[in-house]
Amino acid sequence: MSALQDAAEKARPKHIELFSPTYFATCTIGGIIACGPTHSGVTPLDLVKCRRQVDPSIYKSNFQAWRTIASKEGVRGIFFGWGPTFVGYSFQGAGKYGFYEVFKYLYGEQLFPNLNKTVVYLGASASAEFLADLALCPFEAIKVRMQTTLPPFAPNAREGWKKVVAKEGYAGLYKGLFPLWGRQIPYTMVKFATFEETVKQIYGFLGKSKEDFSGSQQIAVSFAGGYIAGIGCAVVSHPADVMVSKLNADRQAGESAVQAMSRIYGKIGFAGLWNGLPTRIAMIGTLTAFQWLIYDSFKVSMGLPSTGGH
């Protein structure tokens, strides 16, 4: 009996002090696990979305696109670009979730303890995404070029990195940074602030505090809140997402980011900024829901409370 008790004790997550370095490290790891695999998993949607943003006439529908790609390249072709996606969004997830927890504690508990909670969530998420995108940008640039050029710009992330650096230097990996910030920072602000508020409202509707629910029940609430937040994220960030795809595929030599965006907007107009929105809503809603599901499942498995609800 003592052997079983010893085994159970070893299997039980050790206590992690809230807001300790170990706590923030755990959240960072959770962000990697939540973002890298999920973004890679929706590569087929992302591939078609990016190509239709750059050339709306290339495919008539998503299903027609996948059939066309699969007939020429097989299933592997449908997941083309998963490599830089996985690496880039693993780095981004680490920064997004890890720094969010850091800044939420810093702003809300240390610097401005009486500040409105929603303002804290917005500020913390914006600060976290600003830093996270510095790690994401090179891999996003490579991924977009690979997916939007036919024949492909490069067969994999390593070759894509070499080609960009050889032709444009390391600056070429960051030429889409400003529109990436324009896409990702509002996206993340909506993602985190909407999630926190939605989860709070769900617990209010259920009539109990978060602590009255089991870990699995808290995770279910996180999934629901994540999906609702994801729809808002997709709409808010879509025009910038289109511009990121266009810039990485169609920025001319010697053109500044402002000049390129002005020229591209002149070609596609306001309506063109919304190409591929239904696909992105499906992709981002699902993606965000599963990210919160994975992230909070990891936190609960480590003996930490799920996110939100306070």
Write out pLDDT tens, residues 11-43: 445 678 999 999 999 999 999 999 999 999 989
- Any idea which of 1-15, 38-52, 84-98 has the lowest mean pLDDT? 1-15
The whole-number average pLDDT for the span 145-172 is: 91
Question: Which one has a higher pLDDT value, 300 or 94?
Answer: 94
Q: Rounded to two decimals, what is the model's pTM?
A: 0.80
- pLDDT confidence bin for 169, thresholds 50/70/90: very high
Write out pLDDT tens, residues 261-284: 888 888 888 888 888 788 778 878
What are 246's two structure tokens?
A: 């266009």
Return the pLDDT at 310: 64
Q: Is residue 9 scored above 70 in pLDDT?
A: no
Highest-confidence segment of 52-61, 112-121, 171-180, 281-290 = 112-121
Return the pLDDT at 117: 94
Return the pLDDT at 12: 46
The whole-number average pLDDT for the span 106-113 is: 94
Query: Of the candidates 189, 145, 185, which has an alpha carbon nearest to the alpha carbon of residue 163?
Result: 145
Query: Of the candidates 145, 163, 155, which has an alpha carbon nearest to the alpha carbon of residue 76?
Result: 155
With a pLDDT cut of 90, the percent of the chain lying above it is 50
Q: Is residue 292 scored above 60 in pLDDT?
A: yes
- pLDDT confidence bin for 6, thresholds 50/70/90: very low
CATH topology of domain 17-301: Mitochondrial carrier fold (1.50.40)
For the chain, the average pLDDT equals 87
Q: Is residue 252 scored above 90 in pLDDT?
A: no
Q: Is residue 128 scored above 90 in pLDDT?
A: yes
